[in-house]
Amino acid sequence: MENIINGIYVGGDKDVPEAKRRGYARLTCAKDGPDGHREMLGYQSLGAPRDSHYLFVQKGTHAAMNCIDVDNPSMIPTEMLDDGLRFAKRMRDAGNTILFHCNAGRSRGPSTALAFLRTIGEMPWSLKHSLHVFKTLYPPYDPGKGMKLKLAENWDRWKDWNLKGI
C-alpha cells in the first residue's frame, strides 16, 4: 500500500486487512477478491445480478466496482468509473483516507486513483505526462490496455470535475 498524496493510497488485495485495521475508506476496483463486488453482494454466478448495484455498490465507507481488466474499453463502463470517482470525492470531502485497490494493485485500482487525482486537480497535465508522473509515485503501475484506453477517452472530461462539485 503506497501513499500517493496525503490521504490517497493505492494497493492490492494484500493491503485490504491493513486498510480495514486503520479505518480507511476503500474503493475496490475489482469484481472478485477480498472486498470485491461479488463478495459485497454475495452472488455466486459469473455475472452480477442485473439490478441497481450491477456496476457499483456502496456500504458505508467501502464501495466496489464490477470492474474486470480487459483489453476492450467498452467493457469498462464509464458510468461505473464515474460512480467510483464520486464515492472517492465524498469520502475525501468527509476527511477519510482512501485505499484504491484491485487484485494485484497494478492496473484497475491505480488507474482509478489516477483518474481521481485528475478530478481533484492533482494531475493537470496531458495523459502521457500524468502516466509518467504517476508511475514515479507508484512504480508497480502497469495499466491494462482497456484501462489505459478508458483513461484516454475520459481524460479531458475529468479535468473539470473539481470545478463542478461532483
Query: In angstroms, rounded to a whole number, what is the distance separating the alpha carbons of residues 51 and 11?
Result: 29
Q: Residue 129 contacts by C-beta under 8 Å, 6 or more apart in sequence?
A: none
Residue that has been written with the C-alpha cell 477519510 in this structure: 96
Please calculate the CA angle 39-18-119 and round it to the nearest 5 degrees. 75
Domain 2-164 is in which class? alpha beta
Domain locations in the chain as residue ranges: 2-164
With cut-offs at 50, 70 and 90, classify the pLDDT of residue 161: confident
Whether residue 162 is predicted with pLDDT greater than 80 in this model: the reply is no
DSSP-based three-state secondary structure for 149: helix
pTM value is 0.96
Q: What is the pLDDT of residues 47-102, one digit of tens each?
A: 999 999 999 999 999 999 999 999 999 999 999 999 999 999 999 999 999 999 99
Q: What is the pLDDT of residues 118-145, one digit of tens each?
A: 999 999 999 999 999 999 999 999 999 9
Whether residue 110 is predicted with pLDDT greater than 70 in this model: the reply is yes
